[in-house]
Amino acid sequence: MERRLYDAALEGDEALLLELLQEDTLILDREIPSGDTPLHIAAMLGHVTFAKEILSRRPKLAGEFNFQRRSPLHLSSAKGHLEIVKHLLPINPSVCLARDEDGRTPLHLAAMKDRIEVLNELLKAKPEACWMRDDRGDTILHLCIRHNSFEALKLLVHSVSDDEFVNLKDDDGNCLLHLAVMKKQLEMLKFLLDCTKVKVNSLNAYGFTALDVLLQSPRDLKDMDILKSLLHARAMRSKDGNLGMKTNDQISGEPYHSKESNSEMDPKKKYDWIKKKRNTLMVVASLTATMAFQVGVIPPGGLWQNTSTTLDSQGNPEYRAGFSIMSSNNGVDYDTFLVCNTVSFLASLSIILLLVSGLPLHHRFSLWVLMVIMWIVITSIAYTYLISISTITPKDQIKTLDYIVGYVILTWIAMMGLLLLVNTIRLVMRLLRKFGRFIKRIIWPFSSRTNRNYNNV
């Protein structure tokens, strides 16, 4: 009979349930071998009428737990079965605070799955449940970020109007910004920075700010946007201004411009702002190197998936599996593409090497070298893009592409070249002025002695 009851719960067969109850009125009190009650199964699968029939006869089953310490409310919340949740809550609202074997409440599970309607009902029943943590020390907002539940995050932040709520930390001391940066959740990061009073420079248990976490994390295409958002919100590294010596409250309330005003007063810190750009340059160079490597390994048009059965004049296959389609169809463009992409890749690696080797950024010549290399990187990437687009564009549209894309890119490269020329002229003029002052220091003592001797005569 337990097997028949299990099948009835799986199918939501209310008629079979009534038949079994006529045969054995205590059948609902028996445990199915899996540890789930029929109500667990109905709640998980969304069989509303079946669940209502069970609750009308055995309402205490709403508070029963399976082997994972999950109640029917846990399962229905995770699956987003709103009607079943509405029937379970009035019977036993305290189950909202019940924790499963991972320490998670029904509210946690609904937030992790972005079940907005269910989340609303649970918050109405037990709003205090949103402050509970799981066994890993994660709050419900941490779980939203871990599971990319953006809508749930927004609902919870707007529902709990408490600054402390968005500044809670997990067991590793990570606040929401730390975790959003780790998970590369750009949209959530912008929401937290723009719409909440989250502490931008809060330190975790290892003494890192969110900006530290970004600069130490694996590179990603979203890194530049994340970095821009953090810097716009006045994010700092822990070593900037001895953040490790201050409390989180002091850091969050410290004006960002205070260090800049001090640097203006101290001539020795005139170029400190340039040093702060070292990490930004490292991120940009890493991203461009990654792009060049990826495009080099998989060129535009892709790779041949099999070897040609047709032979050329020398008896070799016309193309081989794993080789570039572009090199077979358009060898000249492929050679140009390969040169431009290789130049951008090596130039990006050169920037990384210079920055790692401790290039003195406070010297104008060092900045000029970095600017020249970056100009080479950008120009090469632009040409690589132009060749790639030309390769994958149909021949009947290639003329239009040449006018629209070609001239735009060439104009842009010309502007970058003009910028490079202007900065080069400025550098040369500065060097000439220094050389002139050097010559003057050498000639002046000699001319002074000559004048004195002439006057004595």
- What does the DSSP 8-state code read for residue 403? I
317: which strand partners? 311
- Which CATH code is given to the segment(s) 1-135? 1.25.40.20
Show the beta-strand stretches assigned E in 168-304: none
pLDDT below 50 — which residues of the chain?
242-271, 273, 446, 448-457
| Residues 57 and 45: beta-carbon distance below 8 Å | no
Residue boundaries of the structural domains of the chain: 1-135, 161-244, 274-308+315-450
Q: Phi first, then psi: what are they for 311, rounded to 5°?
A: -105, 150
C-alpha 244: how far from its chain's center? Answer: 25
pLDDT at 85: 95
- Compute how many other C-beta atoms are within 10 angstroms of the C-beta atom of residue 390: 17
Looking at domain 161-244, does it have CATH number 1.25.40.20?
A: yes
Q: Are domains 1-135 and 161-244 of this chain identical in fold?
A: yes
Among candidate residues 372, 409, 411, the one with its CA nearest the CA of residue 387:
409
* pTM (global) more than 0.75: no
pLDDT at 181: 94
Q: Which three-class secondary structure string do you get for 151-190?
A: HHHHHHHHHCCCHHHHCCCCCCCCCHHHHHHHCCCHHHHH
DSSP-derived secondary structure for 345-362: HHHHHHHHHHHHTT--TT
pLDDT at 260: 37
pLDDT at 252: 41
pLDDT at 167: 94
Q: Is residue 341 classed as helix, strand or coil in its secondary structure?
A: helix
